[in-house]
Structure 1
């Protein structure tokens, strides 16, 4: 059984993958996560996931299968992580009452056999109409920080969401079914 190395600083991704990989190794990538507004959401998330994965490939001493992911929210434009509370407020205000898309790119590199795979997952998320009071209450939780689109569906942010169409784990930041399919198809490795 090969080592699984997660190239991520995300507590959510670590927690999700630790359920399946008891000896999960963590590498914190040092990438800039620059978003090019001219790129499609699909290209953006796969490019950012590749940068994280490649950083681990270059600098991680452990051998095995490196996994990296990146998530963005898309509604007329790409929304990454908010810069501050005001930015998060503006993101949530624009998402209010609308349906947006959540994209997560996955990149996997086997650093022993030099096999590489990349793909993405897309989920549609419909938000409730959000009052200013609800947005402000949500922002007080601090949960918006470090979350694409300024919310986390796995926490208090679940109260903002009316409906999702697609993979719930994708909205959390790691589409486990897609990941398992990629690992099985390209690396002869299964999560379960």
Structure 2
């Protein structure tokens, strides 16, 4: 995996850094988030392919911004950019519906409570992560990885307690599967680390391609 390279993580997420450090030496990782947190949204999208394309666009934009920040340093770096979102199914329209982060206003608890009852309780949803890896002038390596997650039906049993933890804030879909949010999960199909924010299995294969290249 090209030990002479620096791995530039284009993310502020401490969880992504922890996951990346399982694949590469922690001392080789440098965190360099994009200069702006403004991203294209999903509000107008209700088609799964369109949602995937938008998710990849967001990850690729992060990579582009960080590559520009690096300047000449980029030649000795591997940039790892990712974006994760939750895709539920609207129970009325039966179409995909993206649940991003809860609002930063005082209404966040009301929003998360509605999500858990409307989209999660006794239902499956998708945690999707788009990856974008850059090294030198090679073509980007891009992937969208999806994991299916099922929640227990009796979410109200733990919901008040969970909201009091405030774990939902800043989390895509309003929960953290690696934290207290795990009490709601009954089944996971696919990569667990993908739900956290970085699909290790697929990322390892991508880094292997970088090394071979």
The size of the alignment, in residue pairs, is 188
Work out the CA distance in 2 between the residues paired with 1:44 and 1:130: 33
Aligned to 1:79: 99
Q: Structure 2: which 5+ residue stretches go unaligned?
A: 90-96
2:40–2:54: 8 Å Cα contact kept in structure 1?
A: no
Q: Which has the larger radius of gyration?
A: 2
Query: Is 1:188 aligned to 2:208, yes or no?
Result: no
Cα distance in 2, alignment partners of residues 130 and 139 from structure 1: 15
1:29-84, Cα deviation, whole Å (9 max, x unpaired):
12312213326332122111111111101113543110011111111201111112
Matched, 1:138 2:144: no
Farther off after superposition, 154-163 or 35-44:
35-44
Q: Which among 50, 70, 83 is matched to residue 83 of structure 2?
A: 70
SS for the counterpart of 1:69 is strand
Q: TM-score, normalised by structure 2?
A: 0.82
TM-score scaled by length of structure 1? 0.90
- Cα-Cα RMSD: 1.8
Q: Does 1:15 align with 2:18?
A: yes
Cross-structure match for 2:9: 6
Determine the structure 2 residue equivalent to 1:124.
Answer: 148
Q: Secondary structure at the match of 2:140?
A: strand
CA distance in 2, matches of 1:56, 1:118: 16
* 1:44 corresponds to 2:54: yes
